[in-house]
Structure 1
Amino acid sequence: MASRRIAQSRVNWSALAERVPPNQKANFAAFKTKSDTYLRSVLANPENPPQINWSHYKQLIPVAGMVDTFQKQYEALKIPYPTENVTPQVEAQLKETQSDIETFKKNSQARIAEFQKSIEHLKSLLPYEQMTMEDFRDAHPELALDPINRPTFWPHDAEEQRDIKDRPQGDH
């Protein structure tokens, strides 16, 4: 597996900052600071380990085979680059979110169409200032007073509109 060197952050911080709610700005700033600190620490180290002049050490160290053993161990040392296995999960979540967004858009368009019909109906009515009680009853039969079929009692608010049989006897 070939290792890749991180050259710069692949995160579009400005686009991400636009989507952060105002109450989460401090958390976002702390997260960005941690990410930048990590990137700087990675970039501060060389991409490859330093080259060692083994022949120089072979001349200086009298113990036979010791430098050769260290050289073999040093050259055998391979620090694995972490495997990237999160992208498929993120892409699956992205597809799911996209489908949820499309469903929400379709439902919103349906609600908008219903609201447009309601607006058109209200625009077709007489202005309330010009309506008579009969006009209001014709436009809104569920809200209009109907003393025959649905009698109400003064002061005609919701709390006072109990059934007559629920009222105490001396309350007539």
Structure 2
Amino acid sequence: MASKRIAQSSINWSALAERVPADQKGSLAAFKIKSDGYLRRVLANPPEPPKINWTLYKQTVPIPGMVDSFQKQYEALKIPYPADTLTSKIDAQWAEVKRAIEQFIQESNANIATCEKEIQHIQAQLPYSQMTMEDFRDAHPELALDPINKPTFWPHNPEEQMDYVDPDKPAQAAH
């Protein structure tokens, strides 16, 4: 009576196993065993309900009309195959995930290009072991010491300078 008979599993288990993390392989194996068991139980039953010999029952059942009533009800019984209402939702979610993946790939490629340019810039520089202080100042003006324009005290970190204000401490009111 069903409009569609399941003949075999439509799950590609090997492709699914490739995507499952190693710590969840046991759960996937348990799920596959349950799925295969369900498929075996479905395939063990015939696709159509068994035929009933109604004439035999009409001859043996003494109540008139009872077998005819049962026959009419049995033949009217239609067990519908469940309608697929989730495939469209899953396809919509997959399309959304694909867009997110494509966006991530584009952002990653842009980051890769930026990093490769930075690597090329660093490789084009003189190695630090061969730099003089002037070469370092030219390569990294924001990091180099500038005793004329920005004089600092040793060890030349922000905490040791005279105008340093600790950002973690609340500002004290002037007296």
Instruction: Give TM-score scaled by structure 1 length.
Output: 0.85
Q: Percent identity?
A: 63
SS in 2 for 1:70: helix
In the other structure, the counterpart of 1:79 is: 79
Any unmatched runs of 5+ in structure 2? 166-175
In the other structure, the counterpart of 2:12 is: 12
Cα gap change, 1:13 to 1:135, in 2 (>3 Å) = same
SS in 2 for 1:161: helix
Preserved CA contact (<8 Å) 2:153 2:161: no
In the other structure, the counterpart of 2:34 is: 34
Give the CA deviation at 1:77: 0.9
Give the CA deviation at 1:100: 1.2
In the other structure, the counterpart of 1:164 is: 162
Identify, as 1 or 2, the structure richer in helix: 1
Give the CA deviation at 1:13: 0.9
CA distance in structure 1 between the partners assigned to 2:129 and 2:6 by the alignment: 70
In the other structure, the counterpart of 1:95 is: 95
Preserved CA contact (<8 Å) 1:136 1:144: yes
Question: Do structure 1's residue 142 and structure 2's residue 142 form an aligned pair?
Answer: yes
SS in 1 for 2:126: coil
Give the CA deviation at 1:34: 2.2
Give the CA deviation at 1:144: 2.0
CA distance in structure 1 between the partners assigned to 2:153 and 2:102 by the alignment: 50
Instruction: Give TM-score scaled by structure 2 length.
Output: 0.84
> Which amino acid in the other structure matches residue 19 of structure 2?
R
CA distance in structure 2 between the partners assigned to 1:163 and 1:32 by the alignment: 67
Q: How many residues align?
A: 165
Any unmatched runs of 5+ in structure 1? 168-172
SS in 2 for 1:164: coil
Cα gap change, 1:147 to 1:40, in 2 (>3 Å) = farther
